[in-house]
Amino acid sequence: MSRNDLLIRRAARWFGLVALLAFVTGCRKPEPDQGLDLLPGDPLGVEVDTFTVHAYTVVDSAIRTSGLSKQLLGAYIDPHFGLVKAGFVTQWRLPANNIGQGIDTTGLVADSLVLSLAFDGINYGYGNLDPQVFQAFEVDEALSLDSSYYAYREPVTLGADIVANRGGRIRPQPTTQPYILGDTLAPQLRIRLDQALANRMMDAFGTADMASNEAFLQFFKGIHVTVDESGLLPNQGGVLIFDLLAEASKATLYYHDLNDEPELTRTFDLLINSNCVRYTVSEHDASRATEPGLQAAIDDTLSPATITHVQALGGLRTAVRFPHILEEAGSDRILAKAELIAPLQGAFYPYYRPPTQLFLFRKIETGDAFLPDQLNGLGVIDGVYREESNGYRFNITRYVQGLINGTYVNDGLTMVVGGSGVTANRVVLNGPAAAQSPMTLRLTFTTY
């Protein structure tokens, strides 16, 4: 091959490569903003503003706890929140009608009556697993499934504690499976009740009191299980979470029959199920907080707050106001995004983890209402705790746009714990006046 032929071939390859590169480049999708500065008129711009937030701590409204999936029991002393205490009320039901009818009951002797409460799996409580003094009282009023019961409602009870070892402490063991009469049972709290009550249940066999559930609920109206919190120190104790609808949750009468195999231990179960009234009773005492400022924060709704509080079980909410947001009405800026940013106030005690999610509600005449941002699902509004930022973010774009448009009255929001009736979680947040990482409303606008 001559030198001229070689040069011609190399030139052809070079021009082919250039043509291919031009073709590939020409087929590529243009960048969205490429050449934007060459278009006539003003280019699209982005502005980010931080708006004033006014936030303060308020006592929560009454929450209904009847008919919920879980019941709570226990107490702890929170340095920031004071005493948190929970107990529950439930009924028992017969497994069948006419218990003891047609048998010889003269030899029946009660050994014990044990209340078993099944822990709610890995979500067994909040706080420490310190020993606590559990108490039980017989209810002395008729309870109805048609009624709503709230966390503040203490039931009418007969006077004496009906726990057998009255005043004794029991350490909860939510990961241990007890071994009873040859069976390995689900993790549970077992409370032995008074022998007099066991004898009373045994004596009712074969009588009209155990002929039907209606008759039995007249005979034994229910039980209020609670704790004696006296003697607890800050960061001691915890609130346990139970699944009363689990098969392991029940009262079991252990007995033997002197007339038939007297060495054999027999059992009779009194059931807790969806036909039973069940509700949690809670108590909060801010005066027992050892960290200063809680009561002052509750009393002062006007001063700029350095911290705010959110607490489950009808405890505390954070009220949030946007006093200057209406200044955006009529402006030429278009709202692209609105975020409420709520950081935690520093580190937290490891056994008092912040709630997994917080919710925001707006106020209407009948109570709480969802924000429009929640109507497309909780993933849109967020409110999930993130460890990397140690706080919460809420996407409230549609709500803020509604304030600017006049769709919603600017009465503010309240921040609450998700699942407030079935958890004892709480969190201390930085207020808008915090020196570092304050609570803020961050608005992103597009301008033309």
The model's pLDDT over 374-383, given as tens digits with 9 standing for 90+, comes to: 887 767 899 9
**Within a domain: 294:** no
The answer to whether 218 touches 183, Cβ cutoff 8 Å, is no
Q: What is the pLDDT of residue 12?
A: 41
- Average pLDDT over every residue of 405-415: 94
Least confident among 4-13, 101-110, 159-168: 4-13
| CA angle (273 as vertex; 228, 194 as ends), nearest 5 | 40
pLDDT digits (tens, 9 = 90+) for 231-242: 899 999 999 999
pLDDT of 121 > 50? The answer is: yes
HSE (side-chain half, CA atoms, 13 Å) at 72: 30
Measured CA distances, 368 to 333, 359, 361, 371 (Å): 30, 11, 6, 10
Same domain for 146 and 280, yes or no, is yes
**Within a domain: 293:** no
**Within a domain: 365:** yes
Cα 307 from chain centroid? Answer: 21
Instruction: Count the neighbouring beta carbons within 10 Å of the beta carbon of residue 101.
Output: 13
What whole-number distance in Å separates Cα of residue 193 and Cα of residue 322?
54
DSSP-assigned states of every residue in 342-408: EEBSS---TTSPPPSBEEEEEEETTEEE--GGGTT-HHHHB-B-BTTTTEEEEE-HHHHHHHHHTSS
Tracing tokens 């010889």 back to the chain, one arrives at 104
Token pair listed for 444 = 């992103």
The answer to whether 64 touches 257, Cβ cutoff 8 Å, is no
**Within a domain: 28:** no
Same domain for 154 and 186, yes or no, is yes
Same domain for 187 and 263, yes or no, is yes
Same domain for 328 and 217, yes or no, is no
pLDDT of 388 > 90? The answer is: yes
Token pair listed for 119 = 């822990």
pLDDT of 393 > 60? The answer is: yes
**Within a domain: 13:** no
- Average pLDDT over every residue of 254-259: 97
Highest mean pLDDT among 186-190, 284-288, 444-448: 186-190
pLDDT of 106 > 90? The answer is: yes
The answer to whether 223 touches 87, Cβ cutoff 8 Å, is no
For residue 345, which of 377, 395, 408, 390 has the smallest C-alpha distance? 390
Tracing tokens 């098969």 back to the chain, one arrives at 247
Same domain for 116 and 226, yes or no, is yes
- Average pLDDT over every residue of 69-76: 97
Same domain for 218 and 341, yes or no, is no
Q: What is the pLDDT of residue 1?
A: 44
pLDDT above 70: percentage of residues in the chain:
89
Token pair listed for 105 = 């009951």
- Average pLDDT over every residue of 385-406: 96
Measured CA distances, 412 to 69, 135, 320, 331, 403 (Å): 31, 42, 6, 22, 10
**Within a domain: 20:** no
Task: Please state the pTM of the whole predicted model.
Answer: 0.86
Q: What is the pLDDT of residue 27?
A: 37
Same domain for 275 and 363, yes or no, is no
- Average pLDDT over every residue of 180-188: 96
Least confident among 183-192, 254-263, 377-386: 377-386
Q: What are phi and psi of 271, to 5 degrees?
A: -90, 155
- Average pLDDT over every residue of 339-359: 95
- Number of domains observed in the structure of the chain: 2
Residue 367 confidence class, pLDDT cut points 50, 70, 90:
confident
DSSP reduced 3-state for 442: strand
pLDDT of 298 > 70? The answer is: yes
Same domain for 101 and 233, yes or no, is yes
Higher-scoring residue by pLDDT: 58, 367: 58
Burial of 156 (0-12, 13-18, 19+ CB in 10 A): exposed
Same domain for 150 and 278, yes or no, is yes
Residue 29 confidence class, pLDDT cut points 50, 70, 90:
very low
DSSP-assigned states of every residue in 201-235: HHHTTTSGGGS-HHHHHHH---EEEEEE-TT--BT
Same domain for 140 and 205, yes or no, is yes
Element (H, E) at 57: strand 54-59
**Within a domain: 418:** yes
Range of the domain at 144: 71-286
Residues in the chain: 448
**Within a domain: 41:** no
What whole-number distance in Å separates Cα of residue 57 and Cα of residue 433?
13
For residue 315, which of 17, 107, 78 has the smallest C-alpha distance? 78
Same domain for 336 and 272, yes or no, is no
Token pair listed for 315 = 């405890």
Same domain for 321 and 260, yes or no, is no
Q: What is the pLDDT of residue 37?
A: 38
Q: What is the pLDDT of residue 376?
A: 73
DSSP state of 198: H
Instruction: Count the neighbouring beta carbons within 10 Å of the beta carbon of residue 85.
Output: 24
